[in-house]
Chain A
Amino acid sequence: MTGKEDKILKDGKALLEEFASALDKVPDMEGTPYVIELKNVLAGDYPGQSPSDFPKRFSELAPRWDFGYLKVEKKR
């Protein structure tokens, strides 16, 4: 965590405490993560689309390619 993130977290914890305190009197009840019912939906069958330039355009956005492979930093 950077120094900037450290400071934001330190100041932010006070803000979170204020928020938690404001919600202190909310009774236990079922929460609402979504206002509509979420379902697994399968897309309908349809004929394949004509070749799109999406893969080419998307690959051009990557910062670094070496020998045809996308090159990325190891996870820090």
Chain B
Amino acid sequence: MSKEHIESILEKEDSWNAFIEKTPEIARSASNEGMLAGKTLAIKSCINVKGALTSCASKTLDNYIAPYDATVISKIKSEGGAIIGMANMDEFACGASGETSYYGPTKNPSAKGMIPGGSSSGSAAAVAADLCDMAIGTDTGGSIRNPSSHCGVVGFKPTYGTVSRYGVCDMSMSLEQVGPIAKSVYDAALLLDVISGKDEREATTLDTRGGFSENLNPDLSGKKLGYAKEIDELIVDDGIRTSIHAALDKLKSEGAEIIDVELPSLSISIPTYYLNVYVEFFSATRKYDGRRFGHKIEESCGEEVLRRITLGKYISAAEWQGKYYRKALAARTMIRNELESALKDVDALVAPVVPMLPHKIGEEGSNDPKVMYAYDIFTTPANLAGLPAGSVPANEVNGIPTGLQVIGKPLSDQKVLDVMAGFEAL
């Protein structure tokens, strides 16, 4: 590994508030051998890195120095990856803009003045600003794909169970996956090779075969790609509509076949997702009572985190479960069934990542949950169904990057990465 490379990366000025803390000692202790030797990485601040501030970008954990490594971190270290810092993020991963961090908003290196997206805002911004080679994010409803799209980099959410969540401060345990953010599909696949696989300490992990980077095949000819007609009705910005149709034309020009599919329940993905998230997040945050570490969350967190806790507590109460949570679980089954049906005769689905362009940092309305949640309409279905999905840079609209989203069947992560690589090469 080039020690000079690590030092030069560590010296770079972070003008985008992409990092909460740099970790030079951890970076300098990286091994010279392994699949990630020579690579510098940013880690989302909700993943335990031994000896580093793992704050979840919240005052609640502003004094929490992780006492152990998450499984993904152990794997990265064992393959020579140099962890250069803890990336900024939306507080406790509750956001899609990168504005809700206790440490201040992350700025978008690829679209001046605009939000970078979230919640893995710092991870995507650090890669886009060349402050590291690759990054780790988490994706519960689009938190890898959304900032990757806004910042013009590659992001991938694996099939649920592909990557261990041991050591991750989870936001919503049934929806969340850890995944790579990188400058190319190859690098994202390489990082996935390292972090994926069965973990005895995490009961939801699956035996996956790895080898994603080695087997990457960008050939698009003969690929069948589904596009749901409902998407066009739900797109808010004309620029996004133009961008996705230009992407479809490009895919066709390389021999891919675009097939009409139906996703009639796409319009209810946001209520389905948030009713699930509120309940699971309320449960996940009960450990932040300030007794053994950190501060009591309700007394130290920001508004969106408090909203999710308060509403999660409210709808968890037995008398409301039938109206909200159980209904949302049924809706989740419906969305999952529709996606399964749409994917039956195609290799993958394609879609925009977001329905609208990112807003300006601090713009009025950015505190309105309905405004913020609207970004998630095309990304949450993959989480609800546990499907692999990635974002690859597609186009620019008014100088703002937009991504193409590729979604696959469960455990077809390789196929999704192949389509992304094929599109990237165009």
Q: Which A residues are within 8 Å of any B CB, using their own CB?
A: 2, 4-5, 8-9, 12-13, 15-16, 18-20, 22-23, 26-36, 38-39, 41, 43-44, 53-54, 57-58, 60-63, 70, 72-73
Contact = CB atoms under 8 A, between A and B. Distances in A.
17 contacts: A5-B306, A8-B307, A12-B310, A15-B370, A19-B274, A26-B327, A26-B331, A26-B334, A34-B204, A44-B200, A54-B68, A57-B65, A57-B68, A58-B293, A63-B290, A72-B292, A73-B291
B310 A70 contact: no
A19 B271 contact: yes
A35 B329 CA distance: 11
Contact of B336 (A15, A32, A44, A63): A32
Nearest to B386: A35
Contact of B204 (A27, A29, A36, A62): A36
Nearest to B272: A23
Does more than half of chain A's interface fall in helix, strand or loop, or is it mixed?
Answer: loop
A8 B310 CA distance: 7
Contacts of A72: 291-292
A20 B384 CA distance: 17
Nearest to A57: B67
B203 A41 contact: yes
Given A4-B303, A63-B291, 17 more contacts: A18-B271, A23-B272, A23-B327, A26-B331, A30-B330, A31-B332, A32-B329, A33-B329, A36-B386, A41-B200, A44-B200, A57-B65, A58-B67, A61-B292, A61-B293, A62-B292, A63-B293
Contacts of B369: 15
Given A16-B315, A19-B274, A31-B333, A36 B161 contact: yes
A44 B386 CA distance: 27
Contacts of B384: 32
B129 interface: no
A57 to B, nearest CB: 3
B315 A27 contact: no
Q: Sorted from nearest, which 10 A-B pairs have the closest CB atoms? A: A31-B329, A57-B67, A35-B386, A19-B271, A61-B293, A72-B291, A32-B332, A22-B271, A58-B67, A32-B333
B324 interface: yes
Contact of B330 (A4, A9, A31): A31
Nearest to B304: A8
B314 interface: yes
A9 B201 CA distance: 37
Given A26-B331, A30-B330, A72-B291, A35 B65 contact: no
B385 interface: yes
B203 A38 contact: yes
A35 B67 contact: no
Contacts of B314: 9, 12-13, 16
A43 B198 CA distance: 12
Contacts of A34: 174, 204
